[in-house]
Copies of this chain bind each other. A is one copy, B any other.
Amino acid sequence: MTASGPSFEIRTPEGEDRERRVCGQCGFIDYVNPKIVAGAVVADDLGRILICRRAIAPRTGFWTLPAGYMEEGESVEAAARREAREEACADIELDALLGVYSIPRISQVQIFFRARLKSEIAPGPESQEVRLCAFEDIPRATLAFPSVHWALDDWMAARGQPAPVPVMRTQNPGDQPY
Contact = CB atoms under 8 A, between A and B. Distances in A.
A7 interface: yes
Interface string A1-12: 111111101000
A109 interface: yes
A15 to B, nearest CB: 12
A108 B10 CA distance: 26
A49 interface: no
A28 B6 contact: yes
Task: Give chain A's interface residue range (CB within 8 Å of chain B).
Answer: 35 or more
Given A76-B109, A165-B165, 16 more contacts: A1-B27, A2-B24, A2-B25, A3-B27, A6-B23, A28-B28, A33-B70, A34-B74, A73-B104, A73-B107, A76-B100, A76-B102, A76-B168, A97-B100, A163-B165, A165-B166
A5 B34 contact: no
Interface string A96-114: 1100101011010101000
Contacts of A46: none
A107 B72 contact: yes
A75 interface: yes
Contacts of A163: 165
